[in-house]
């Protein structure tokens, strides 16, 4: 929009009894109402400087679009819903995901709505509700299963969505994922290099895709490095701290040769450390702990814990943009990204 005439001076205040409208922004900016409307809706043919000016004026005068009017004109709600479990999140992984998705939507016309579901609830319920009521334009969701019924449902209905994690149909939909298979491979390689031979694996719930990826990476790496792995069947990395402590203590009594623990969450890593120390061993000496984390915390807790970082902030921002593309350009190839651990980057 190189022909747009932009007045960069600070807009004057509206009258006290004047409700800000598109016409108000048009008057203050010197631009036409259609240009203002398209700029606020992030139209690709409107220049970046024009969009910034219009949004700044809208913020300054307190303009809030009429959601019902937007829906009547465009058929959209300008809402992206993050469907997420209410399960206890000890180290703020969920909070960081919410914050980063919100940040990814910040300079767009889209707003974030968090739609919770409960551990004892069918995860299809909130997804069906959003689709059938049209209460959002797109869905972002996590805790993805290999044959996730939510993914199948949304694909069948051509409803825009993006996933934090990969399903078995990942080649067909937008996603952002951490390379958990590489995490498993790196864990075994590094522990074997430290002379560890009997490694306890506390994986995520087996129903979730990333658990399968971790276990696959671990199993592929065992034979080349001559280590034995013991994959916990009785517990997952999502279990409570007390449950993990009790389980690891029992395993150490049952198998005193265990010399390393690999786990997929910060909270379970801390619980494993507590169990090891209560057993009378020292982390980094007799027994290693290897974990991934979204917040750089574990080395502050115990400097000898081995860690890999997962970039949740990047994930949320990417998923926000992927959801917007799925809304606006459904025929374009879906946005997809895999966060490769630093150890694997060239």
One-letter-per-residue 3-state SS of 129-159: HHHHHCCCCEEEECCCCCCCHHHHHHHHCCC
For 262, which DSSP code? E
Q: Is 267 in contact with 289 (CB distance < 8 Å)?
A: no
Q: What is the pLDDT of residue 62?
A: 76
- Domains of the chain with CATH codes: 22-64 (no CATH), 74-173+313-341 (3.40.50.2300), 180-309 (3.40.50.2300)
Q: What is the pLDDT of residue 11?
A: 47
Q: What is the pLDDT of residue 117?
A: 87
One-letter-per-residue 3-state SS of 280-300: CCCECCCEEEEEEECCCCHHH
Q: Residue 178: beta bridge partners?
A: 339
C-alpha angle 318-320-323 in degrees, rounded to nearest 5: 110
Q: How many residues does the chain have?
A: 346
> Of 97, 100, 71, nearest to 84 (Cα)?
97
Q: Is 133 in contact with 71 (CB distance < 8 Å)?
A: no
- pTM for this prediction: 0.80
Q: Is 300 in contact with 273 (CB distance < 8 Å)?
A: no
H-type helices in the chain, by residue range? Answer: 22-29, 33-40, 48-61, 67-74, 93-105, 124-133, 149-156, 180-193, 209-225, 241-254, 266-278, 298-301, 312-328
Q: What is the pLDDT of residue 92?
A: 65
Q: What is the pLDDT of residue 318?
A: 97
Q: What is the pLDDT of residue 325?
A: 97
Q: How far apart are CA 86 and CA 341, in angstroms?
A: 28
| Per-residue model confidence as pLDDT tens for the chain (346 residues) | 444 444 444 444 454 456 788 888 888 888 888 888 788 777 788 888 888 888 888 878 877 766 655 655 556 789 999 999 877 665 568 888 999 999 999 888 899 999 998 888 899 999 999 999 999 999 999 999 999 999 999 999 999 999 999 999 999 999 999 999 999 999 999 999 999 999 999 999 999 999 999 999 999 998 787 889 999 999 999 999 999 999 999 999 999 999 999 999 999 999 999 999 999 999 999 999 999 988 888 999 999 999 999 988 999 999 999 999 999 999 999 999 999 998 775 4
């Amino acid at each position: 929009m190189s022909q747009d005439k932009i007045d960069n001076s600070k807009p004057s205040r509206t009258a006290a009894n004047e409700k800000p409208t598109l016409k108000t922004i048009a008057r203050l900016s010197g631009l036409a109402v259609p240009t203002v409307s398209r700029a606020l809706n992030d139209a690709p043919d409107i220049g970046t400087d024009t969009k910034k000016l219009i949004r700044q004026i809208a913020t300054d005068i307190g303009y809030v679009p009429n959601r019902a009017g937007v829906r009547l004109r465009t058929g959209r709600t300008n809402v992206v819903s993050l469907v997420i479990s209410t399960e206890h999140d000890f180290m703020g992984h969920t909070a960081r995901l919410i914050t980063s998705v919100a940040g990814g939507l910040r300079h767009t016309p889209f707003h974030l709505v968090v739609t919770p579901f409960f551990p004892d609830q069918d995860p299809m319920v909130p997804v069906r509700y959003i689709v059938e009521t049209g209460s959002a334009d797109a869905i972002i969701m996590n805790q993805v299963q290999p044959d996730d019924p939510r993914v199948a449902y949304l694909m069948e209905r051509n409803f825009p969505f993006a996933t934090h994690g990969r399903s078995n149909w990942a080649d067909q939909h937008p996603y952002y994922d951490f390379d958990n298979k590489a995490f498993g491979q790196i864990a075994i390689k590094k522990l074997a290099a430290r002379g560890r031979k009997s490694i306890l694996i506390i994986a995520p719930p087996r129903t979730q895709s990333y658990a399968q990826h971790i276990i696959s990476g671990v199993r592929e790496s065992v034979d080349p490095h001559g280590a034995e792995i013991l994959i916990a069947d009785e517990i997952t990395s999502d279990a409570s701290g007390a449950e993990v402590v009790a389980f690891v203590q029992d395993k150490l009594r049952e198998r005193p040769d265990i010399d390393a623990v690999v786990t997929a969450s910060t909270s379970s890593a801390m619980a494993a450390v507590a169990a090891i120390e209560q057993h009378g061993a020292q982390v980094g000496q007799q027994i290693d702990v290897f974990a991934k984390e979204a917040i750089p915390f574990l080395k502050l807790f115990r400097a000898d814990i081995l860690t890999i970082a997962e970039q949740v902030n990047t994930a949320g921002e990417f998923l926000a943009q992927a959801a917007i593309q799925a809304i606006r350009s459904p025929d374009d190839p879906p946005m997809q990204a895999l966060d490769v651990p630093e150890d694997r980057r060239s």
